[in-house]
């Protein structure tokens, strides 16, 4: 860490999560609550209700299930709990997180097909519709909302219409988008949508959550392939007495509750999405002015995260670039695009355009110091 950064000051995380959180979110964790105590049960109840509100879903028609672990645990929970032994999953892929859903299906011996659109292309409703017509064995369809690999945002409502019209169940991994992109889960015909505590709600890691259509959740009864990731049993436990079946991350839930209050105070998802959009717009135009090139065309680029091509100049070395920015107090993110060398800059978390300006100034500095042409 450079001597100009006070030891107590965390670096700003321009990452897709864990991300920079507010001091008050961190402070909310300075309590010890019993996991079976009334106070904690009340907080869990409020968190679940608020998450349904964010999804624009009503209790009874939809249910909120919180699951310990990172986001992938909840994606695996949905995949391994919802698809029957004789079922088949169609995975709509345009990045690494779609491919991960396929890996989950393979581990559980779930029949699965992949429709791969390429990492720089939106999932296309007509192609999905044709695939569903062609293969009546498909029972469930999964898609990633914001493919964090690139930052592309799929039109989950358009795909939802096609999937529902074909009578299949619809699973959305909205890990990096939920809370930062407006989504009406019932209007999108979504049966299961998944996100986690350390993304756009701006909490800390520890758990993920599923908003599930009650009718689809009911079908999960007895279908689980694991004990801990049994989505239906987890919901049943939470409904019975408000408690988790197994030890919950109490501190992380306290932080998340505070983060939800702060999301409301900011003006809800609409206001948060606008803040992220402003961060994004400033960063893209600033990076372009420096000579960096985004991987995606503007028309496909969402407000969550942006992938930039590595500069061609041999004087560019990502680990040196990363380290020098890190020394100045800014954490950027390595790339995940499979066909091109890229790095990523996230626009989410407790930061605004002042922070984006500061990062741009630091990048300008580092480019000059390293002497490469972006
Ligand atoms: C779209 C998407 N899906 C799944 C995950 C996996 O989440 P986790 O690393 O919390 O398991 C991520 C993580 O960034 C993501 O962006």
Model pLDDT for residues 148-204, shown as the tens digit of each residue: 999 999 999 999 999 999 999 999 999 999 999 999 999 999 999 999 999 999 999
The residue-averaged pLDDT of 292-316 equals 97
The pLDDT assigned to 7 comes to 65
The residue-averaged pLDDT of 66-77 equals 98
Query: pLDDT digits over 211-269, tens only?
Result: 999 999 999 999 999 999 999 999 999 999 999 999 999 999 999 999 999 999 999 99
The pLDDT assigned to 9 comes to 78
The pLDDT assigned to 1 comes to 39
Annotated domain spans of the chain: 12-20+267-370, 23-264
Residue 3 has pLDDT above 60, yes or no: no
For residue 371, CA distances in Å to 69, 292, 294, 315, 324 come to: 43, 14, 21, 7, 13
Percentage of the residues of the chain whose pLDDT score is greater than 70: 98
From the options 3.10.560.10, 3.40.470.10, 3.90.1150.10, 3.40.50.1370, give the CATH code of 12-20+267-370: 3.90.1150.10
Ligand 1 center to 97 CA (angstroms): 7
Count CB-CB contacts under 10 A for residue 133: 10
Fold of the domain spanning 23-264: 3.40.640
The pLDDT confidence band at residue 8, using thresholds 50, 70 and 90, is: low
From atom 7 of ligand 1, which residue's Cα is the shortest distance away?
71
CA gap 216, 212 in Å, rounded: 7
Ligand 1 center to 227 CA (angstroms): 22
Ligand 1 and 66: CB distance under 6 A: no
* Tokens coding 325: 């920015």
From atom 8 of ligand 1, which residue's Cα is the shortest distance away?
71
Ligand 1 center to 175 CA (angstroms): 6
Ligand 1 and 94: CB distance under 6 A: no
The pLDDT assigned to 2 comes to 45
User: Chain-centre distance of CA 298, in angstroms?
Assistant: 21
Please give the mean pLDDT across all residues of the chain: 97
The residue-averaged pLDDT of 324-329 equals 97
* Tokens coding 296: 């995606």
Ligand 1 center to 352 CA (angstroms): 23
Atom of ligand 1 nearest to the CA of 145: 1
The 3-state DSSP class for residue 213 equals: strand
Point out the least confidently predicted range of 6-20, 260-274, 323-337.
6-20
CA gap 356, 135 in Å, rounded: 47
């Amino acid at each position: 860490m450079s001597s100009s950064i006070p030891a107590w000051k965390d670096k700003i995380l321009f990452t897709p999560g864990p991300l920079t959180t507010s001091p008050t979110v961190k402070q909310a964790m300075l309590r010890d609550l019993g996991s079976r105590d009334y106070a904690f049960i009340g907080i869990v109840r409020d968190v679940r209700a608020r998450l349904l509100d964010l999804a624009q879903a009503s209790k009874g028609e939809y249910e909120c299930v919180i699951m310990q672990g990172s986001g992938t645990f909840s994606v695996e929970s949905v995949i391994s709990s919802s698809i029957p032994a004789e079922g088949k999953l169609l995975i709509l892929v345009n990045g690494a997180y779609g491919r991960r859903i396929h890996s989950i299906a393979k581990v559980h011996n779930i029949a699965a097909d992949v429709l791969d659109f390429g990492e720089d292309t939106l999932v296309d409703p007509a192609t999905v519709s044709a695939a569903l017509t062609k293969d009546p064995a498909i029972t469930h369809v999964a898609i990633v909302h914001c493919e964090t690999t690139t930052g592309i945002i799929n039109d989950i409502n358009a795909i939802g219409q096609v999937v529902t019209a074909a009578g299949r169940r619809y699973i959305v991994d909205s890990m990096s988008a939920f809370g930062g992109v407006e989504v009406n889960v019932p209007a999108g015909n979504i049966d299961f949508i998944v996100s986690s505590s350390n993304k756009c709600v701006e909490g800390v890691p520890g758990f993920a959550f599923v908003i599930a259509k009650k009718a689809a959740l009911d079908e999960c009864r007895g279908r689980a392939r694991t004990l801990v990731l049994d989505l239906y049993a987890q919901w049943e436990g939470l409904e019975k007495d408000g408690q988790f079946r197994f030890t919950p991350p109490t501190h992380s839930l306290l932080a998340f509750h505070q983060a939800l209050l702060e999301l409301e105070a900011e003006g809800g998802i609409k206001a948060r999405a606008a803040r992220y959009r402003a961060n994004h717009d400033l960063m893209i135009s600033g990076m372009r002015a420096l000579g960096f090139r985004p991987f995606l065309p503007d028309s496909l680029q969402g407000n969550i995260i942006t992938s930039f091509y590595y500069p061609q100049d041999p004087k560019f070395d990502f680990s040196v670039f990363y380290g020098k920015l890190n020394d100045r107090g800014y954490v950027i993110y390595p790339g995940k695009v499979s066909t091109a060398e890229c790095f990523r800059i996230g626009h989410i978390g407790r930061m605004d355009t002042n922070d984006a300006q500061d990062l741009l100034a630091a990048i300008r500095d580092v480019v000059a110091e390293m002497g490469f042409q972006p």
